[in-house]
Structure 1
Amino acid sequence: MHPLSKKLKQPSSHFSFISPSSLFLCLLCVAALFFTFLLLKSSPSSPPNDSRINREPLFSPTCNVSHGRWIYDPTVKSARYDDTCKEIYKGWNCIGRNKNNAHDIFKWRWKPYECNLPQFNALQFLDRFRNTNIGFIGDSLNRNMFVSLFCTLKGVSGEVKKWHPAGADRGFTFLKYNLTIAYHRTNLLARYGGQPMPMLVYLNLLDTRRDSKLMLTYLKEHGQMLHSSMMFSSLTRDTGGGLLQSLTR
């Protein structure tokens, strides 16, 4: 036999066969990677962490903020002021008098049906109503609103001058902003006459002719005086609802 043919018949020592078990493992790994790629490609991407998803409607200037309800919000961590505010009437100082559920009272907030009302911003309020006089006229309900506003504003601006204006019980001027808020107590602005008076009207004391006509018209039609809760401003004409909505602009 030719030496060359003999050499060709000898199996090469560098060539080896792949065992069936090794081949199976390789195919299994390839299949796993392929299906993993398909799953990642077909699955929807994670939604962005956007707080606007599934949240309450944003505030709109056209929103009727008076149409809503009180809701309990456990996320409220602290009140805008505490029982150390000296203007709080002692008999109504729930925290100072250790009322059982006093701290839960602060967790209630007003929620309009049509929008989400942002939290009150005291600094924004002071800046917006510079050089302005704001008055609360009415009974204890108006006094509570007056005290609440004062204590909230004083928490961010301590330069305050207290005074007793003519015809009003008390007033405070925030010197840095030249903003004055005052309270005048009177029980003669409303006469109920035994029937419910759900109407709440904000009168502009700068437009006395219009206000007088409005009250006389209501008296003629209903036979009694208009139930009103009044706020006045020496510089702004859109009081009441405008005062509330302006806090969010």
Structure 2
Amino acid sequence: MKFLHIENTNPKQTVSKICILTCIILLIFTVTTALLKINRYKLPSTAFGDLKEPESLPSASVKKCDIFSGEWVPNPEAPYYTNTTCWAIHEHQNCMKHGRPDSEFMKWRWKPNECELPMFNPFQFLEIMRGKSMAFVGDSIARNHMQSMICLLSRVERPIDVSHMNDFSFKRWKYSSYNFTMANYWTPHLVRAKKMDSNSALFNVYIDELDETWTTQIKDFDHVIINGGQWFLGPIVFYEKQKVVGCQYCDLANMTHSNLYYGYRKVFRTTFRSILSLENFKGTTFLRTFSPSHFENGLWNKGGKCVRTKPFRSNETKLEGYDLELHKIRLEEFKVAMKEGRKKGLKLMLLDTTQAMLLRPDGHPNKYGYWPNENMTLYNDCVHWCLPGPIDTWSDFLLQMLKMENVRSISTNMLHR
């Protein structure tokens, strides 16, 4: 066999080639073993259908696939939990409890254009996260996301409440069997902000100052997921270097109307700076992108509603207006931060849910987040997401990203031995 013929070959070259070949074999063996270890966790049958385990974990072809570009396709087996089997659903996202008459909005899955996206496997997720921690940082959509994940994980284990305070905006849960901690930090503007007064909807937002309610808490977390968006569309006075630099919808005398995009860009720049400057922080930061609202026939406070009962196709709608501009700003600031993070040995990853959620006008509570006879002024909710619902797919995305990152980490470690 020619590849074993070493006649007239320098002995040092031969040893070098053998070492390289040995390293390649060890790398293949180690990665394969790790994948098999993760993949052995099978899902049990449930009353809502079997959640089938993928035959294999990420391959070279999946690495080239953009999992965030695709379409929603029917999934008759869903959902994998219900509002009666999950205790963690916030009242205003409990759409079935409050009388939503249709249920087809729960029976879809995301299909990337170039590959398959495996359904969320709670056993795999908890095994990957064994001994680790994850923080959801942002507005109430971040809390919505965490509640969705708790529901998906509920088939494996119910977590213990280990919160440091009695405030649902700052919850901490521990999965004892896996030593996995999950926490939520409510910070709707990401930076320091406060109401102008208790009776006002107007916020003072300090676009160059950190919000220490979360920046002082996350340095020990292994994974941090940040988001922000909807709260920047309300009344705001922007401060920079302790001085007013403008406002929007503030209706104050002698006040310059500020460009939303300037303030929004500065906020994300400050947010990434706060993470990259954390001493001893070694975790992975995920930027989860903007989740568009779907008000039709009026603004949120002008009778707007979301009554559709099935997803859009990708050719039926597109990102535009402020949704598009805010999305661009996030991506631009993320790319800058990612380059800076690499210099410090920090990982930043993009959880780009915007396109998938743009296609789901049917997934919001609308008027089914409260009882119709409640004696108060209530608006239709076309911002948050019903549980179960489309937001459960965010965990599909996240788990796939974690599995791919595990494969890359194993490969990198082997190559540097």
Question: Which interval holds the TM-score relative to the shorter structure?
Answer: 0.5 to 0.7
Query: Which stretch of the first structure deviates more once superposed, 130-139 or 77-86?
Result: 77-86
> Whole-Å Cα distance in 2 between the matches of residues 172 and 131 of structure 1?
13
2:176 partner letter: L
Correspondence for 1:245? 401
SS of the residue aligned with 2:111? strand
Quote how far apart the aligned CAs of 1:239 are. 5.2
Residues 59 and 118, structure 1, Cα contact 8 Å, conserved in 2: no
> Whole-Å Cα distance in 2 between the matches of residues 247 and 173 of structure 1?
21
Residues 132 and 180, structure 2, Cα contact 8 Å, conserved in 1: yes
Residues 1:86 and 2:87 are matched in the alignment: yes
SS of the residue aligned with 2:178? coil
> Whole-Å Cα distance in 2 between the matches of residues 59 and 204 of structure 1?
34
Quote how far apart the aligned CAs of 1:122 are. 0.7
Count of residues paired in the alignment: 169
Correspondence for 2:108? 108
Q: Which runs of 5+ in 2 are unaligned?
A: 1-59, 191-227, 234-258, 282-324, 335-345, 352-397, 408-417
Residues 1:208 and 2:283 are matched in the alignment: no
SS of the residue aligned with 2:174? strand
Identity score, percent: 25
Quote how far apart the aligned CAs of 1:120 are. 0.9
Correspondence for 2:188? 187
Correspondence for 2:148? 148
Quote how far apart the aligned CAs of 1:130 are. 0.6
Structure-to-structure mapping, 1:114-193, within 5 angstroms? 114-158=114-158, 160-165=159-164, 169-189=170-190, 190=228, 191=232, 193=259
Residues 1:66 and 2:68 are matched in the alignment: yes
SS of the residue aligned with 2:183? strand
Residues 170 and 186, structure 2, Cα contact 8 Å, conserved in 1: yes
Quote how far apart the aligned CAs of 1:128 are. 0.9
More RCO (CA 8 Å, sep 6+): 2
Residues 125 and 399, structure 2, Cα contact 8 Å, conserved in 1: no
Residues 59 and 117, structure 1, Cα contact 8 Å, conserved in 2: no
Note closer, same or farther for the CA distance 1:59–1:97 as it changes in structure 2 (3 Å cut).
farther
Note closer, same or farther for the CA distance 1:178–1:83 as it changes in structure 2 (3 Å cut).
same
Instruction: Give the TM-score normalised by structure 2.
Output: 0.34
Quote how far apart the aligned CAs of 1:88 are. 0.8
> Whole-Å Cα distance in 2 between the matches of residues 81 and 205 of structure 1?
37
SS of the residue aligned with 1:134? strand
Instruction: Give the TM-score normalised by structure 1.
Output: 0.55
SS of the residue aligned with 1:245? helix
Residues 61 and 245, structure 1, Cα contact 8 Å, conserved in 2: no
Quote how far apart the aligned CAs of 1:114 are. 2.1
Structure-to-structure mapping, 1:224-239, within 5 angstroms? 227=330, 237=347
Residues 130 and 177, structure 1, Cα contact 8 Å, conserved in 2: yes
SS of the residue aligned with 1:181? strand
1:169 partner letter: F
Residues 162 and 173, structure 2, Cα contact 8 Å, conserved in 1: yes
SS of the residue aligned with 1:123? helix
Deviations 1:164-195 (A, max 9, x none): 24696102111000111111111112556445
Note closer, same or farther for the CA distance 1:180–1:62 as it changes in structure 2 (3 Å cut).
farther
Quote how far apart the aligned CAs of 1:99 are. 0.5
> Whole-Å Cα distance in 2 between the matches of residues 208 and 244 of structure 1?
28
Quote how far apart the aligned CAs of 1:63 are. 1.9
Q: Which runs of 5+ in 1 are unaligned?
A: 1-57, 212-221, 230-235
